[in-house]
Structure 1
Amino acid sequence: MTRSAAPVTVLVVDDSSFFRRFLTRTLGADPGIEVIGEAASAEEAHEFVMARRPDVITLDLEMPGLGGMQFLRQTVARLRIPTIVVSSSTQLGARRSIEALEAGAVDVMPKPQGVAPGMVDNIALATIAARVRAVAQVDMHRMKSPVSDPAPVPSPTLAAPVLSRDWVIALGASTGGVQALGSLLQALPANCPPVVIVQHMPAGFTEAFARRLNATCAIEVREAQHGDRLSPGLALIAPGGERHMRLRRAASGALAVELVTGDPVCFSMPSVDVLLTSAAQVAAPRLSAAVLTGMGSDGANGLLAARLAGAQTYVQDEATSLVFGMPARAWERGAALAQVPLDQMAAQLLASVGTTSATQRAPAAPAPRMTHRGV
């Protein structure tokens, strides 16, 4: 979907008058964005969107009265207005932000720290404005029904667990990835191969995301720490922030993750490209990898490296991607064997365990709606 040349219209919702002014001033400095309103409460925000619908909402969850979460679930999700949650990076703020993403928010951004009154922070300007413009492109009709309180679901057992002992599943996602990963990981059995994940998310939020997933999945899910070893039934999520996550193989042959400093790759830290490139080097061809929904091109080069190394590689299809950016770039570069609907991705990944590109099996899901390309 391509927007016209008209500026992106934004409603700023926050009970702090100072922060509302900061966001309005920061966003207003971008010629492609127009702040058309401010609201100090969910009630004010509701009245505003009923009268004038913005392209994007920035939303503080911690407000008196109705509260940001109820506003998100009752008004924003119903009207399908792309929303960025602007949250504190405290443990409580991070947990509620993950719940907001599950409930229909598109992106989450930590509140900038140390912003002086009357000052436009250039870093904050670039980050906030870019996210607002990107979120405005999201087709909210692709957003699945909000999940109010996800519960554990039964999960099958992998028929040949021996295949999982030296096999790796690597996943990358960005915008829309919280819902996509929640759906995919819930469908994995407790004895599945080890899973490594990069989900673009600010520092302080990935631990809450991992805890949320761990409570709803048959596999164990946790935020990765430097040196964690891979093992069947374990999913490790790269911490958001200032380090990349990559795989290394020890002298014993065991695979482990390492967290390393470096420059952003594809404007991302951690980067899907870094993870997938390292997986191609140390795990392929005993590797299945997928790039899921997200903006930008992170993951395209890494997935291509994995495919060239003999891995089984896939991208989420356009119809089920909230943002068909990262999957599209990977597909265009010839990095994936197939485009796979989200509800069939877990089955496809499991079916690929123990196969090679020349002997790839069909997914277990009935009547697959996949786009394939030749090897």
Structure 2
Amino acid sequence: MTSVAVVLDDYALAAVPGLDGELARAGALVMRAFQGTPSPHLLRRYRGAAVVGGPDRAGLLARLERATTSVAAPVIGILPPGVPAGPELRGPGVVDLVPAGAPDIAARILLMANVPVVSAARAPRPGAGIAAAPAPVRGSGAPADVIAIASSTGGVWVLAALLRELPCRGRAALVAQHMEAEFVPFFAEWLEGASGWRTVLVDAPVPLAPGAAYVAVGGRDLLLDGSVLRAAPSSSRFVPSGDRLLACASRLGARATGLVLSGMGTDGAAGLAEIARAGGDAFCQAPATAVVPSMPESALRRTPAAVALPPAALAAALTARGTALHAGPPAGT
């Protein structure tokens, strides 16, 4: 059995010129003769990322519904021309909605396709590293830089690409990615494989340490209490709550960085404002680059001084900030 399965219908494949060969070289399985409907049997057997498309609005919605009831993995929907990324298209498991003409569509799908097979024998344990991939080099003691991230639809690929480019030494990433509870173990395993960061599922209290990304178990909020991370009952309709996570991180003052990525609604805006008020740095994905711009737009209205950057520029900006924190104050101050 292949370790990666990407399911594309004919429309989705046609919307991504050249993707076929790239996926083949990556060792992925590409199925393209679904006549508009992914095979539920295949999706159950290969528990990977489903990529589905459709020639019209109703057809796309039906494909998303069928795919998300069968595959225990994130699903990408490719939007036909003229179909907006409306809230009704964000069904369970749908983590990215990609316009067919997006210039980075192949890179996004290939990143999402970097997933291992999930099985009961390999189910991740809360509080432990998710995958068997080599752990990144980590420092000791408390992280100098803690990055708290609020993300929803369209933010998953930005998150993984950011962490892949961001050095993990001396910093920790706390992630509030809106997602149905059943998909969280898969997401955590996928994030470790796609980013190279050791990823920890938090249920029981876990000490905060550098060199790791932290995700709460499904249906819970991720909280930082001093130097300990824990999962708490959800507090809003956004699960996990980005506002609650960023507000906790704000207690670290200048050591905290807040980041709001693509998504519907206003989650993360209030928490980012608290980080800025406490002396931390506030960043947003540039709304024009977001699949769904509501979350970063709301954050910028609440914190106009927040730095808004396209995904390709976020890692460099956060790396520069972390370098300044590691350097400490100038001599003689």
Give the TM-score normalised by structure 1: 0.58
d(CA) in 2 for partners of 1:304, 1:294: 17
Q: Aligned letter for 1:45?
A: G
Which position in structure 2 is the counterpart of 1:308?
277
Structure 2 match to 1:238 = 216
What runs of 5+ residues in structure 2 fail to find an aligned partner? 1-8, 10-31, 80-85, 116-135, 329-333
In the alignment, what sits opposite 1:178? Answer: 156
Secondary structure in 1 matching 2:271: helix
What amino acid is aligned across from residue 319 of structure 1 in structure 2?
A: A
3-state SS, counterpart of residue 216 of structure 1: helix
Deviation, structure 1 residue 355:
4.7
Cα distance change, pair 303–353 in 1 and its aligned pair in 2 (3 A): same
Instruction: Name the SS of the counterpart of 1:295 in structure 2.
Output: coil
- Quick one: distance in 1 between partners of 2:181 and 2:49? 25
User: What residue ranges of structure 1 are gaps of 5+ in the alignment?
Assistant: 1-12, 14-40, 47-59, 107-128, 250-254, 360-375
Match in the other structure for 2:64: 84
**1:290 match: secondary structure:** strand
Structure 2 counterpart SS, 1:280: helix
8 Å contact kept, 1:186–1:218: yes
Task: Look up the match of 1:196.
Answer: 174
Instruction: Name the amino acid aligned to 1:248.
Output: D
Q: Deviations over 1:65-111 (max 9, x none)?
A: 9x99999658549x99676355678xx932xx22x33xx568xxxxx
Show the counterpart of 2:309: 340
Match of 2:258 in 1: 289
Structure 2 partner of 1:23 = none
- Is 2:148–2:258's contact at 8 Å kept on the other side of the alignment? yes
Aligned equivalent of 2:232, options 249, 252, 260:
260
Partner of 1:45: 36
- Counterparts in 2 of 1:324-363, with a 5 A limit? 324-334=293-303, 336-353=305-322, 355=324
Aligned partner (choices 279, 283, 287) of residue 249 of structure 2: 279
Superposed CA deviations along residues 210-231 of structure 1, whole A, max 9, x for unmatched, are 1112123332113222311221
2:289–2:311 CA contact under 8 A, matched in 1: yes
Contact 1:198 / 1:272 at 8 angstroms: preserved in 2?
yes
One-letter identity of the residue aligned with 2:240: P
Report sequence identity in percent. Answer: 27
RMSD: 4.3
Asked whether 1:150 is paired with 2:120, we answer no
Q: State the 1:237 CA deviation.
A: 1.4
Q: Report what 1:247 is aligned to.
A: 224
Question: Which one-letter code corresponds to 1:195 in the other structure?
Answer: A
| Aligned mates of 1:299, 1:71 — CA distance in 2 | 27
Structure 1 stretches of at least 4 aligned residues deviating more than 4 Å after TM superposition:
67-77, 79-83, 85-89, 161-164
Which residue of the other structure, out of 237, 240, 265, is the alignment partner of 1:270? 240
Structure with larger RCO (C-alpha < 8 A, sep 6+): 2
CA contact (8 A) 1:184 1:345 kept: yes
The 8 Å contact of residues 190 and 218 in structure 1, kept in 2 or not, is answered as: no
Please report how far the alpha carbon of residue 354 of structure 1 lies from its aligned counterpart in structure 2 after TM superposition: 6.0
SS in 2 for 1:84: helix
Aligned-partner SS, 2:258 = strand
Alignment of 1:8-47 (within 5 A): 43-45=34-36
Measured in 1, the distance between the counterparts of 2:199 and 2:39 equals 26
Q: Distance in 2 between matches of 1:285 and 1:179?
A: 27
The equivalent of 2:21 in structure 1 is: none
Q: CA 1:323/1:130 → structure 2, altered by over 3 Å: closer, same or farther?
A: closer
**If you compute each CA radius of gyration, which structure gives the higher value, 1 or 2?**
1
How far apart are residue 165 of structure 1 and its match? 2.6
In structure 2, distance between residues paired with 1:163 and 1:172: 25
TM-score by length of 2: 0.65
